[in-house]
Structure 1
Amino acid sequence: MQNKILTFPLRLSIIILIFGASFKIMHWPYANILILIGSILVGLLYTFRFIFKRNKESLDYVKLSMILIWIFSYLNSAFHAINIPYIFEIALLILFIYWFIFEGIYYFKNRKYKKNAFLKAFYFLLISMTIFALFFGILFKIQHWPYGALLFTTGILLMSILLIYDYFLIDRNAKQLNEN
């Protein structure tokens, strides 16, 4: 587990970031503060995680670059520091495509779950409920139909629960045995 330090605090900071984005979409107060805190925490925690990782590969540098460029891009747009149109977005797109081709597909394909059928079934049910609530919440919100805000907020809450539940459902011991 040494190559995956700070996973739980990193997930909590991602949840803060997701809540900030949902506050921004819902036009609620403190959205910018939550996004700023979440993005800075993600950047710091991921950088510390990268520094303490022993065996670094090229994909580790790509992931770190994606995180840092994304945070710098957000801070640049939030505080209007430098006006360089689309440079950060193009760099992020190229790095994301590189990551997706070489690791993204296998990340989800090779996951090892704890051997409890009920927890695994509940996990997939939670994923489908989250996708449903987010998709229809965004659709209803765009169309200004009733219950759009409720569906969207429910989807965000389910996504937060899913990020925490996923942390405890993945069998990290089996993953380490496969890597060694």
Structure 2
Amino acid sequence: MKRVLDVLVLPGKWVGWLVLPLILSVCLTVLAARFGWNAFVRWDQSLPVIGQGITVNTLADLQWYIFAIMAIFGGVYAFRDGQHVSVDVFSAGLPHRVQLGLRLVGDLVFLLPFCAIIFWYGWSFALTSFNSGEGSTYGGLMDRWLIKSIIPIGFALLGIAAIVRAIATTGEILRPAPTDESNFE
């Protein structure tokens, strides 16, 4: 199960490197605002995603694209490592098996249906964007379906991670409790 989770978090590990272009984009946007620049480079032919140039709006779109990618794929990474938001404060004093049962219920009753709903609507959200050719109307990035497709992909990965963790949790619950050897001496 651990290997499956390790594969599911690979995009989260990879997108961590997007912090560097995010920082560069923010710095360029600040410089552009300071010096009154709007367009950095323009060309005649429209290129996929970029359009007909790199402007301040392109950089602004790039910033929220990167942030969205990092948040969605990073969420799967945080879930795998137990660094996500949880309500452990309510279950901290309960026996370990009860904690596991609550985690199992949370994963199957709350997280998995939520992931399924977001996947379903995210898929149609991205598909509508693709079919309409949605892009920036103010000189930013084009092909918005690419960033919108991150939503169903990320929540599919999170849903798979929830299933894997639920299977592992069920196995842990069903495993016989360890006996205390010191009682038999």
* TM-score between the two structures when normalised by the length of structure 2: 0.32
* TM-score between the two structures when normalised by the length of structure 1: 0.32
Judging by fraction of residues, say which structure has more strand.
Answer: 2
Judging by fraction of residues, say which structure has more helix.
Answer: 1
* Greater Cα radius of gyration, structure 1 or 2: 2
Question: Which structure has the higher relative contact order (CA within 8 Å, separation 6+)?
Answer: 2
